[in-house]
Chains A and B, each alone.
Chain A
């Protein structure tokens, strides 16, 4: 590096020339890499819009799947997804936030809490299909929930718990100590402090994390296929123990058929799925922005 100092001006000029060249080469290749990644995103969305938009109509949303591709719709999958995600949220939100509060506000920093911490990080990395195997054996076979909405939602809740816990912990950690100390100084107990001061301040962050976790659950197909969510459902689930299907599984079903008309349906189904995901993310982002503006500690 310091070689430049001992060179003649001419040699130095040459060294700088090559250095500038290498620098430019790097910038060009890095920008190409970024361009490839972003262009793929654009192509992917464009491809799906071109394939699916012509098929998209109100009928598509309000019809049941059918053997005839032109009459097939995604009503049962759409409703199934909405039921599944509501139930998953009801199960995962309190459990995840509860665990986060325990770890962040109450747990002593000892070996045990360290183990729980590593364990949660690992659970976040377990392939989703393995959660499907757990759900299949535990909820479907042992607890006899069969291939039901309840079994599916419980599996999904376990899958997204680690994400909710990690996001909630981060939100709780962002609440400054001084607020807790102020509350203690006024005579509040630990739980009163957490409940009345910390949770309200951390709530937007917790909600943002939860919405993002739920949007992960909406896109997952593999675990639900394991627990046996059906691929052909011509009715709406009427109880927690009813069989059901969801959008990604319906899309998978259509993609894996050889007829082109069905893959068009799959593209239209993907558009519905993406619209749901985009709206959920928009809510999450606006929550985050609102939170950041208000925060003035």
Chain B
């Protein structure tokens, strides 16, 4: 074998291994598609089987949710409303605090303050949710009960507030990034026209970054809807159709946890309910996530 032959053989071998490696890498990234497909198929399969036993009308029009009792009702509304009430309270806490912090950090604070405060704020998002559940049930609820004596030991208010604190960094970090990305020339132009710092922040930067800011808020709502442990611990597990934040309720996620704690046999209607509820959860958060992604894409295209 001449040196030349050997070299070409080596080259051939390298090309072959390169292809094999690329295939393996491709499979790794295709796994993410398989995961989505798996989630959709699993949910779809059990949900279809659920709706073969329970009619759409019984699911979407009934106002009682009692699949675990002998007198079974499958009206999803108590879970929808419970989820909505908790998420709304969370957003009422997270939006003002998160947005004020974001505007301040982006437009007012010096780099030193930003560098210190931002990571500390982000710690809030890194604390395990079960810890927030503990905090809601054993610290915030007793505290609120002193102010509102009629407040039940389990309620929507306390986990809502605590969840709001938890998602502050989602709102503030992403909005701050969006405002920071607004070009300096826009600010300079407004200053040249005689605007004050506050006017620049609220009438120039905030509108310019609006799609990024709404993307952040939508993502935070999606996170609040999907959040599980805080509500499973502190909101009680009583599905009831009410807008009152002072009584025990149940969210979609808390219901799924409640069933998983019992020993529900595979194939029963109780088992199928968690997939039907999971499907609603998945569709809801998917729509919110896609909207948020689309909005973020938009501001990126404009300024980057």
Chain B contacts with A in 218-271, Cβ cutoff 8 A: 219, 222-223, 225-229, 232-233, 253, 256-257, 260-261, 266
A190 to B17, CA, bound (A): 11
Knowing A99-B29, A126-B39, A251-B134, say if A190 contacts B18 (CB, 8 Å).
yes
Q: Are B100 and A33 in contact (CB under 8 A)?
A: yes
Q: Does B138 contact A (CB under 8 A)?
A: yes
- Given the known A-B contacts A133-B256, A219-B128, A277-B126, are A125 and B281 also in contact in the complex, defined by CB atoms under 8 Å? no
Interface of B is mostly: helix
Q: Which of A1, A22, A162, A226 has the most CB of B within 10 A?
A: A1
Which residues of chain A have C-beta atoms less than 8 A from B227's C-beta?
Answer: 127
Residue of A whose beta carbon sits closest to that of B46: A137
**B21 (CB) vs chain A CBs: closest residue:** A191
In this complex, how many residues of chain B approach chain A with their Cβ under 8 Å: the count is 87
- Cβ of A138 and Cβ of B38 under 8 Å apart? yes
Within 8 A of B (CB), among A88-136: 94-96, 98-103, 106-107, 115-116, 118-123, 125-134, 136
> Does B145 lie at the interface of the complex (its beta carbon under 8 Å from any beta carbon of A)?
no
A101 contacts which of B25, B130, B132, B135 (Cβ < 8 Å)? B25
Nearest CB to that of A248 among chain B residues?
A: B130
Closest-by-CB residue of B relative to A249 is B130
A270 to B266, CA, bound (A): 33
Determine, out of B68-76, B84-92, B282-290, the stretch whose residues face the partner at the interface: B282-290
Interface stretch among B53-61, B177-185, B195-203? B195-203
Tell me which residues across on chain B come within 8 A of A51, comparing CB atoms. Answer: 138
Instruction: State the CA gap A64–B218 with chains docked (Å).
Output: 43
Least Cβ–Cβ distance between B28 and chain A, in angstroms: 3
Report the tally of A-B residue pairs with Cβ distances under 8 A: 254
By a CB distance below 8 angstroms, the chain A residues around B292 are 125
**Interface residues as binary, B23-54 with A (CB distance below 8 Å gives 1, 0 otherwise):** 01111111111011011001101100000000
Residues on B close to A: CB < 8 A? 14, 17-18, 21-22, 24-33, 35-36, 38-39, 42-43, 45-46, 96-97, 100-101, 103-104, 108, 117, 120-121, 123-124, 126-135, 137-139, 165, 168, 190, 193-199, 201, 219, 222-223, 225-229, 232-233, 253, 256-257, 260-261, 266, 274-275, 278, 281-282, 285-286, 288-290, 292-293
Q: 9 shortest A-B CB distances, which residue pairs?
A: A127-B226, A219-B128, A98-B28, A30-B104, A102-B25, A99-B29, A125-B289, A222-B228, A99-B28
Pick 11 A–B contacts, CB within 8 A, sort by A: A41-B120, A119-B36, A122-B286, A125-B219, A129-B256, A129-B278, A130-B39, A191-B18, A216-B126, A218-B128, A222-B129
